[in-house]
Structure formats: C-alpha cells, structure tokens
C-alpha cells in the first residue's frame, strides 16, 4: 500500500515557497557571479572613481556581475584576464588605464572609450577595439562593464598581466 501525502504539509510548503519567492531579498534574486565575490571581493557595494573630478559611484555585486557578462560578450577575446592581446604592452591594469591619454581610470572615461575607442595616446580612432553603440548597450550597462574592469584592475590576482 502506498504512502498518503499530508495535504496540509504540501499546502504549507507551497505557501512557504510562494511567500519566499515573492518576498525574496533582492540580493538573492539577482545572480552574483562567483568570480565577483571571490576574486573581486565584492559582497557589499563598492565605491569607484566616477569621473576625472574624483567623484565616486557605488556598484553592487549584481552590477559587477552584469558588467562581467558584458565583458565576456564583447571584450574577452582580446582582453582575457585584463591583458591586451593585440598590444601586450598596454593592458587593462590600473597603471595602464591611468597612463592612457586621456586617463581611462574612471567610469565616465571607460564608458566614453567603449562608445568611441581611441588608441592609447588618444590621437586617433582605434579599429582594434570594438565600438559599442547605444543599441548594443546602454550607458548604465557600460558603467557596469567599466566598474567590473576597474574593480578587477584594483584587486583581481593577475589582472592586466603582460606575461602569457
């Protein structure tokens, strides 16, 4: 003879599941990439340089996870691990980003660069780095991409290494 299921228990579990999913904390609802928490060390919002004036902008682990996805979709072929395969002398390290003309060590500068890439000296358009038009990514998405790059440049082990 088969076991009878307790309808009250099943009903309680169903109600609990509905309540949990409906009121689930936003931090649990959005996917956080394990790389972001482990190597970028982001579990709480981080403040990154927003523009050349030194103003700061806050980014969550979810923001950086979204930025990592955009990086993987558009940048990783040439910038695996923050390196720059077409020009290994210039990486996505914080030092190299600061040394670019204009410096690309803040969110606004990286967003501008992804819209209209220029060479490291800032003297001509770069045809190596792919331009991301507004149809491909919003400014908010590009800010998340920039935040991922800047946080990785600050703390990720081996990020921007010039040795392959």
C-alpha span between 54 and 100 (Å, rounded): 17
The mean of the pLDDT values for the chain is 87
151 within some domain: yes
Q: Is residue 15 part of a domain?
A: no
pTM (predicted TM-score): 0.81
Residue 97 lies in a domain: yes
Count of domains for the chain: 1
Residue-wise pLDDT tens digits, 1-20: 555 666 665 555 555 544 44
Give the pLDDT confidence score for residue 19 in this predicted structure: 46
pLDDT value, residue 24: 46
* Inside any domain, residue 22: no
Looking at the domain assignment, is residue 8 inside a domain? no
Tell whether 80 is covered by a domain.
Answer: yes
Indicate the pLDDT class of residue 162, thresholds 50, 70 and 90. Answer: confident
- Which residues are within 8 A (CB) of 79 and not within 5 positions of it... i.e. 6 or more apart? 71, 85, 92
Domain residues for the domain of 37 are 27-155
45, 53 contact by CB (below 8 A): no
pLDDT at 21: 47
CA dihedral 88, 92, 98, 100 (to 10 degrees): 50
Confidence of residue 130 (pLDDT cuts 50, 70, 90): confident
pLDDT greater than 50 at residue 29: no
Model pLDDT for residues 77-129, shown as the tens digit of each residue: 999 999 999 888 999 999 999 999 999 999 999 999 999 999 999 999 988 88
Domain-located, residue 19: no
Whether residue 7 is contained in a domain is answered as no
- Specify the CATH number for the domain of residue 101: 1.10.760.10
């Amino acid at each position: 003879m088969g076991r009878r299921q307790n309808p009250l228990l099943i009903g309680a579990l169903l109600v609990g599941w509905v309540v949990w999913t409906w009121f689930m904390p936003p931090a649990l609802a959005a996917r956080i990439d394990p790389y972001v928490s482990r190597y970028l060390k982001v579990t709480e919002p981080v403040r990154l340089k927003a523009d050349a004036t030194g103003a700061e902008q806050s980014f969550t682990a979810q923001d950086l996870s979204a930025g990592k996805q955009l990086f993987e979709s558009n940048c990783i072929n040439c910038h695996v691990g923050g390196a720059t395969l077409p020009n290994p002398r210039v990486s996505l390290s914080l030092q190299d980003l600061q040394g670019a003309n204009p410096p690309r060590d803040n969110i606004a500068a990286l967003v501008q660069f992804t819209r209209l890439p220029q060479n490291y000296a800032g003297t001509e358009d770069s045809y190596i780095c792919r331009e991301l038009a507004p149809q491909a990514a919003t400014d908010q998405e590009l800010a998340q991409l920039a935040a991922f790059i800047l946080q990785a440049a600050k703390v990720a082990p081996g990020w921007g290494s010039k040795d392959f």
